Amino acid sequence: MPHSTVLGIDRPILVCAVPVRSISMVNPPSECEAVELRLDYMGGDLEVKLNEVSDLIKGLLSRVKVIVTVRNPEEGGVNWVDPSLKLKVIRIAHENGALVDVEVEFARKYANSITSWSEVILSRHVLNSRSNIRSTIASDYALASSMKALTYKVATINTDDLPALVELLVKEGEVPVAIVPMQPIQRAAAIMLGTALMYCSIGDGTAPGQLSVEECIRIKRERIRLVSS
């Protein structure tokens, strides 16, 4: 996922979010530019199926970019996963050439255990009202820049946070910025503005407001048409 300017024609990368309840059921459509494997959906099966997870990543990487995510419940995850197991999953992902999505607070706590920061999407999920969104994301972005993360992603349920997110995107530095509002119309706007990533559903979504991958493709094509003209 190379860095490009806010108006780069290749943006965003359209990521199909896949809730992995059963490894055998994972078969994302060809329209996906990347696939996010939400492994927190596996619950207790995750620890006993690490070899199968590794094989799944390898198989998908032969045809699409792969992002591995074990989301913490306080940021929207489904099941709690022991940090030591989460670090094992991150290591497996990196060994196989996949990217990983890591929450900011987890990254701060386990920074010394994560070696491949250039393959990390550093993320923040705002699931309640907070008045200091600008200071929060500014601090996060400074961390992402210092670690030379692949991307900084911020998702929020608060409609009023959109101006702060757009400002962050417009003022983007060396680390690409992905903004993910929860309202569908705001997600469409984020695609048009050139967010680095946009997460799309292929059936059961993994977050409120996700557009279908078909809708994401249609909006991205319109963006490309406008940027190219």
pLDDT digits (tens, 9 = 90+) for 114-128: 888 999 999 999 988
pLDDT band at residue 6, thresholds of 50, 70 and 90?
Answer: very low
Alpha carbons within 13 angstroms on the beta-carbon side of residue 3 total 16
Look at residue 177 in the predicted model and tell me its pLDDT. 97
The model carries a pTM of: 0.91
In this structure, is residue 2 part of a structural domain? no
DSSP helix/strand/coil, 159 = helix
Asked whether residue 54 is assigned to any structural domain, the reply reads yes
Which of 42, 143, 130 has its CA nearest to residue 86? 42
Q: Which of these, 180, 22, 176, lies nearest to 99 by C-alpha position?
A: 176
User: Which residue range(s) make up the domain with 186?
Assistant: 13-228
What is the distance in angstroms between the CA of the first residue and the CA of the last residue of the chain? 24
The pLDDT tens digits for 163-195 are: 999 999 999 999 999 999 988 999 999 999 999
Q: Is residue 5 part of a domain?
A: no
Half-sphere exposure of 167 (CA within 13 A, CB side): 10
Predicted confidence at residue 206, as pLDDT, reads: 62
Tell me if 151 sits within 8 A of 122, measured CB to CB.
Answer: yes
Whether 8 maps to a domain, the answer reads no
Please, which pLDDT band fits residue 2 given cuts at 50, 70 and 90?
very low
Are 211 and 8 contacting, i.e. CB atoms less than 8 angstroms apart? no
Question: Does 223 reside within a domain?
Answer: yes
Among 32, 36, 41, 37, which residue's Cα sits nearest to residue 14?
32
Does residue 3 fall inside a structural domain? no
pLDDT digits (tens, 9 = 90+) for 14-50: 999 888 888 877 777 778 899 999 999 998 899 999 9
Residue 19 falls within a domain, yes or no? yes
Q: Is residue 1 included in any domain, yes or no?
A: no
Q: Give me the pLDDT at residue 204, please.
A: 66
**Other CB atoms closer than 10 Å to residue 152's CB: what's the count?**
28
Q: Closest Cα partner for 194 from 36, 5, 31?
A: 5
| Count of structural domains, the chain | 1
Looking up residue 149, the CATH number of its domain turns out to be: 3.20.20.70
